[in-house]
Amino acid sequence: MLKVLKQRILTGLVLAPIMIGGIFYLPMMQFMVFIGVITALGAWEWANLSGVQNKVARVAYTVAVSALLYLLWYLDLEQQPELLYVAFAWWLLAFVLVRTHPKFKSIWAGSVTRLILGLVILIPMWIGFVQIKSYPNSGYLMVFVMFIVWGADVGAYFAGRAFGKNKLAPNVSPGKSWEGVYGGIVTTTLVAIVAGMMLQESIHMDLSIKQWSLLILATFIVTAVSVVGDLVESMMKRHRGIKDSSNLLPGHGGVMDRIDSMTAALPVFALALSILGWNISL
């Protein structure tokens, strides 16, 4: 246990500066490549989650995902928020799938179907990152989403342990409860309030009631969908019969184990910014 904890801490100390540095200091083109590499690593692991064990086939899938990212950039489509509606529709469907699992397992259990789902999960994450990168204060926006994801996870863990009785998706992740979800929502709401107060300090202006409402609404939506992102990967791992998506990150499992919630949170947050018209730069 102590060895795993040590590995998690050391890996986190390496990964955190890399991620923060990439978010804040890389220009757009380099940033697109940076997130593209993370997406490609996720694709390699998703192929395994899809039941593809042949390494050549997994490489082919990774190359195909990378090629699609390049095509989006080449056609200048990565800035189209309409593409994120596909992701939002998928996460709504995903919630139904995890809540009713294994009732509709036959719909997604095939390897080809799961590989296609990987495109809907991974590519919109990259698009979401790229679109947010184009906004003023993009680094703070991305960090805000990360704090929402982490807050939802931490709040759910402690609330679930203390009060968890009603299971959220017992056939997917028996340890998760509705009480944990509520704890996560409370935590991320506090994150949103702190972020709003810090924003007010930085711009020397009070946010309006409408702006506060939109901030809390966006936070609630992203919190909810981040939970679904985590559950979907758990469902895929349970079906595949594995504990981690890979052993690439010592103490943390694989890349997908780290970005499962982000695959849902990033594109939905980017879409929320677009729909709600809430400009954090004011």
Task: Write the Ramachandran bin of 26: left for phi over 0, alpha for psi from -120 to 50, otherwise beta.
Answer: beta
pLDDT of residue 280: 47
Q: What pLDDT is attached to residue 201?
A: 84
DSSP state of 247: S
Block means of pLDDT (10 residues each) for the chain, 282 residues, are: 58 79 94 96 96 94 97 89 90 94 92 96 96 90 92 92 91 92 96 90 80 90 94 93 81 83 94 74 44
- The predicted-structure confidence for 209-244, as pLDDT tens digits, reads as follows 888 888 899 999 999 999 999 999 999 999 999 888
Grouping H, G, I as helix, E, B as strand and the rest as coil, residue 167 is strand
Question: What's the rounded Cα separation, in Å, for the pair 6 and 280?
Answer: 38
Q: Tell me, what's the pLDDT at 7?
A: 61
Contacts of 167 (CB under 8 A, 6+ apart): 174, 176, 177, 178
Chain centroid, CA 127 distance in Å = 12
Residue 12: the pLDDT is 67
